[in-house]
Amino acid sequence: MANLGWILVVTMVGLALIIAGAQLSSQEDEVDDVGDIGSDEDNRILDVCLQSHSEDLTHYHTNLVISIRGEDRIIPSGTGVTSACMRGIHTHGDDGTLHIETPGDMEARLEHFFEIWDEPLSGTQLMDATVSSGESITLTVDGVAVEDYENHIFVNGQEIIIKLE
């Protein structure tokens, strides 16, 4: 009779381990299904092509100021807008307001905007200016310096200043 009790305990522990393992595996699969949301590999916004404004969109704004050697640069009105569509990051005016509009949550990074705008942004170049000896590109977000400026993720209401000095 004691052996039967022991066999029952071992069987129950084994089943518990199998169930726990299955739940962990299921959670890992769910994380994998999310893809790269929240990582440097989320480039889905580059494929966004909206036909119109809609209430079903994620829609927020950030303000971007670009200064090269003390000269403010204008981001043109209609950047990211064509007769066919509005890209996931675009402008309507030339006041630096970036409209981030997407059919769901996805990353909108500074490098994405520059790619949509078709302007270079790297450690050695900002638009038409090449970084010279003693100069650097800096980014502040709401007055706080950001090191990895190319991968900076836009958040609603941010004031962003990028400078080459």
What does the alpha-carbon distance between residue 138 and residue 127 come to, in Å, rounded to a whole number? Answer: 14
Nearest alpha carbon to residue 114 among 148, 94, 90: 90
Element (H, E) at 94: none
User: Which 8-state DSSP code applies to residue 143?
Assistant: T
**Contact between 155 and 128 (Cβ < 8 Å):** no
**Contact between 45 and 108 (Cβ < 8 Å):** yes
CA atoms within 13 A on the CB side of 131: 15
For residue range 53-83, list pLDDT tens digits in order. 777 789 999 999 999 999 999 999 999 999 9
Predicted TM-score (pTM) above 0.95: no
For residue range 5-50, list pLDDT tens digits in order. 656 555 554 544 455 444 444 444 433 333 333 444 699 999 999 9
- Residue 34 has a pLDDT of 33
- Residue 51 has a pLDDT of 87
Confidence class for position 149, pLDDT limits 50, 70, 90: confident
Element (H, E) at 93: none
**Contact between 150 and 108 (Cβ < 8 Å):** no
**Contact between 47 and 41 (Cβ < 8 Å):** no
Tell me if residue 67 falls in helix, strand or coil.
Answer: strand
